[in-house]
Amino acid sequence: MSDKNATEMLRADPAGVSRAAEIVRGGGIVAVPTETVYGLAARADSDAAIARIYAAKGRPSINPLIVHIASMDEARKVADFSDEAERVAARVWPGSVTLVLPRRKDADLANAISAGLPTIAVRMPDHQVMRALITRVGVPLGAPSANLSNTVSPTSAHHVAATLDGRIDMILDGGDCPTGLESSILAIRQNGRWDQLRAGPVDLDALHRQLYGSALAPVQPSASIEAPGQLTRHYSPGKPVRLSASTKKNGEFLIGFGSSGGDCNLSESGNLQEAAARLYACLHLAAQSSRPRIAVSRIPDKGIGKAINDRLRRAAS
Ligand code: AMP
Ligand code: MG
């Protein structure tokens, strides 16, 4: 093809991953499946590559990125791990928890990646395609969700193409994301205090109880100022959203749960994991439908249901 803005779409097989690694190593930006949502990956040590991510997404420069690593050796080169952070990492990685820790002064990272903060967000993903890509490129990757800023997050290659086609170098199609919600974000402070900065697939309150036998303290007000991405309207389907709907009104696209039916049902058996994995696909369908409004059935506020409700409240705000 001669159009130099065309975005390649390749299957996430070994040849596809190899091609993606070549592009990323050369400073390009590639959408890649992870267990949470599709990420838009670039080498974390390149100012130019990280700038391309912000530009492609239309992301405000005050909203920092998560650095994805494939080993603890890599993690310890970008962040200062206290004994407690080591203990938590050993417990949750690889997996859907992002740790916010002090950024190492000598970290080989683009400045813009942490938006000028003294901390850095780090995660070791548990998806073989993303892990293979990090390993092949050989340096940590900065990777926010692979969508235009303020739109619904992508859980399929098709969702990525819907907003980023022509704006990025390549999409690796690895099928649907198994977990389907962005990572839980946990800041571990130098005094040992935990701040949950974003609810996600892993229940941080339950984790704190397992490790320390006590509940997670409520979030300090300063924590939300530190994470600007959490304050802005996010995950917006671009239409009014009505929550805890028991019936469908005229003009509404109903996202149901359990026996409530709906135009798209999150989980007919009432399984919250399944509902999380299907949430963004249903929101994408609702956004594309000709109905002007969206209604969503009540989702139980327990376990991963807390993270689903967090995303729905943002979609409705
Ligand atoms: P996304 O990858 O699009 O899900 O966005 C990453 C999220 O991580 C955003 O909400 C950021 O605000 C948050 N984040 C990244 N780095 C930091 C940091 N150093 N401190 C607090 N939050 C962070
Ligand atoms: Mg995002």
Collect all residues with Cβ–Cβ distance below 8 Å to 284 and sequence separation of at least 6.
152, 159, 162, 237
Q: Considering only residues 271 and 223, tell me which one the structure prediction assigns the higher pLDDT.
A: 271
| Domain boundary, last residue among 173, 207, 229 | 173
Residues present in the chain in total: 317
**What's the total number of domains in the chain?**
2
Q: What is the pLDDT of residues 77-87, one digit of tens each?
A: 999 999 999 99
Q: What is the pLDDT of residues 27-63, one digit of tens each?
A: 999 999 999 999 999 999 999 999 999 999 999 999 9
Residue 124 has which token pair?
Answer: 């070791």
Q: What mean pLDDT comes out for the span 261-278?
A: 98
Distances (CA, A) of 13 to 10, 33, 88, 132, 175: 8, 12, 32, 10, 11
Q: Give the pLDDT of residue 49.
A: 98
Residue 115 has which token pair?
Answer: 């938006």
Q: Are residues 162 and 16 in the same domain?
A: yes
Number of the ligand closest to the Cα of 100: 1
| Domain boundary, last residue among 173, 188, 203 | 173
In a domain, 97, yes or no: yes
Residue type for position 69: I
Q: Is residue 145 pLDDT above 90, yes or no? A: yes
Query: How many whole angstroms separate alpha carbon 317 and alpha carbon 314?
Result: 5
Q: What mean pLDDT comes out for the span 14-36?
A: 98
Q: Is residue 4 pLDDT above 70, yes or no? A: no
Q: Is residue 181 pLDDT above 80, yes or no? A: yes
Which band of pLDDT confidence, cut at 50, 70 and 90, is reported for residue 6? Answer: confident
Q: Are residues 71 and 162 in the same domain?
A: yes
Which of 281, 265, 271, 280 minimizes the C-alpha distance to 305?
Answer: 271
Q: Is residue 108 pLDDT above 50, yes or no? A: yes
In a domain, 297, yes or no: yes
In a domain, 129, yes or no: yes
Domain hosting 281: range is 241-316
Q: Give the pLDDT of residue 3.
A: 47
Number of the ligand closest to the Cα of 229: 1
Q: Give the pLDDT of residue 229.
A: 53
CA-closest residue to ligand 1 atom 1: 144
113 neighbors 100 (Cβ within 8 angstroms) = no
Query: How many whole angstroms separate alpha carbon 240 and alpha carbon 307?
Result: 20
CATH of residue 98's domain is 3.90.870.10
3-state SS record for 26-57: CCCCEEECCCCCCEEEEECCCHHHHHHHHHHH
In a domain, 188, yes or no: no
CA 121–ligand 1 middle distance (angstroms): 6
Pocket test for ligand 1, best of 36, 54, 63, 189 (most atoms within 8 A of CB): 63
In a domain, 234, yes or no: no
The bridge status of strand 141-142 relative to strand 66-68 is: antiparallel
CA 241–ligand 2 middle distance (angstroms): 19
In a domain, 221, yes or no: no
Q: Are residues 32 and 131 in the same domain?
A: yes
Pocket of ligand 1 (CB under 6 A): 63-64, 66, 100, 114, 117, 119-121, 144-145, 182, 185, 197, 226-230
Q: Are residues 19 and 127 in the same domain?
A: yes
Q: Give the pLDDT of residue 1.
A: 41
CA-closest residue to ligand 1 atom 21: 227
In a domain, 66, yes or no: yes
Q: Give the pLDDT of residue 188.
A: 96
